[in-house]
Amino acid sequence: MRRSFIAGNWKMHKTPAEAKALAEELKAGLAGCGHKILIAPSFTALESVASVVKGSNILLGAQNMATVEQGAHTGETSVLMLKAIGVDAVILGHSERRHVYGETDEMINEKVKLALANGLEAILCVGETLDERESGKAESVVKTQTEAGLKGVSEAELDKVTIAYEPVWAIGTGKTATPDDADQIHKVTRDTVKSLYSEDAAEKMVIQYGGSVKPENAAQLMGMENIDGALVGGASLKADLFLPIAEYDK
Ligand code: PGA
């Protein structure tokens, strides 16, 4: 039985003080929650949020990191810096990183391996664009991104990997994949893990859905056989929206 994993991606929102206030509300609201929960503020708010969630049942996430540990990389943030702050997991290959900032499968794979080598969990994001979906390529795109993202990752390391399926056309648009359509791609993703590793690895892999998840659709999406949680953007910025998603009943 896979444990539900709900993550909030705060993107480029909230100052350190605002982030701390939201983290405090979530910590109080989720004290009795049995699901795995993570919040990912921007880099500048990591430290203030870390001071709130430390020792609680909320994990701390970062939204990106560099492909290397240190060096002449102006504007980048190292895995070592994240670890030192107390970050537990890193969101990697988010579609905004892929499509706005030109991150390639190779770069994302480097980051996944580096995060794991340093003991952090990785949330590997995959998902097709609207063009790719309309030309019938959704399944092959997700399969390719999953294979490329996990290249060189051992089966033993997979317990620190979560995959997030986020159709690009559903992110921040209010459009959601139907639960059946989403489940179908989750199944393809799980089958890809099976062909890369084993049936056991595929059974254990937690695969989140992301893209306009709201309190109204969360339970239905996460109730699907292959959907094990959610990566939530917009609705993770307000406690009264994120709390009911995080506390949904499967
Ligand atoms: P959204 O974002 O929930 O605002 O659609 C999801 C994401 O980008 O992770």
Distance CA 34, CA 243 (A): 13
Residue 83 lies in a domain: yes
Residue 92 lies in a domain: yes
pLDDT value of position 249: 82
Helix (H) or strand (E) holding 193: helix 179-196
Note down the domain range covering 183.
Answer: 5-42+65-246
For every residue of 106-151, DSSP letters joined together read HHHHHHHHHHHHTT-EEEEEE---HHHHHTT-HHHHHHHHHHHHTT
Q: Which atom of ligand 1 is nearest to the CA of 210?
A: 6
241 phi, psi to nearest 5 deg: -95, -40
Q: Which atom of ligand 1 is nearest to the CA of 91?
A: 9
* Number of domains into which the chain is organized: 1
pLDDT value of position 174: 86
Ligand 1 pocket residue status of 93, Cβ below 6 Å: no
Residue 49 lies in a domain: no
Most ligand 1 atoms within 8 A of CB, residue of 232, 237, 238, 245 to mutate: 232
Residue 54 lies in a domain: no
Ligand 1 pocket residue status of 8, Cβ below 6 Å: no
pLDDT value of position 138: 97
Residue 146 lies in a domain: yes
Residue 240 lies in a domain: yes
Claim: this prediction has a pTM higher than 0.75? yes
Residue owning the nearest CA to atom 9 of ligand 1: 233
The CATH number of the domain holding residue 167 is 3.20.20.70
pLDDT digit string (tens) for the chain, length 250 residues: 899 999 999 999 999 999 999 999 999 999 999 999 999 999 999 999 999 999 999 999 999 999 999 999 999 999 999 999 999 999 999 999 999 999 999 999 999 999 999 999 999 999 999 999 999 999 999 999 999 999 999 999 999 999 999 999 999 888 888 999 999 999 999 999 999 999 999 999 999 999 999 999 999 999 999 999 999 999 999 999 999 999 998 6
Residue 55 lies in a domain: no
Beta-carbon contacts of 89 under 8 Å, excluding residues fewer than 6 positions away, are 7, 38, 40, 59, 60, 61, 62, 115, 120, 121, 122, 123, 162
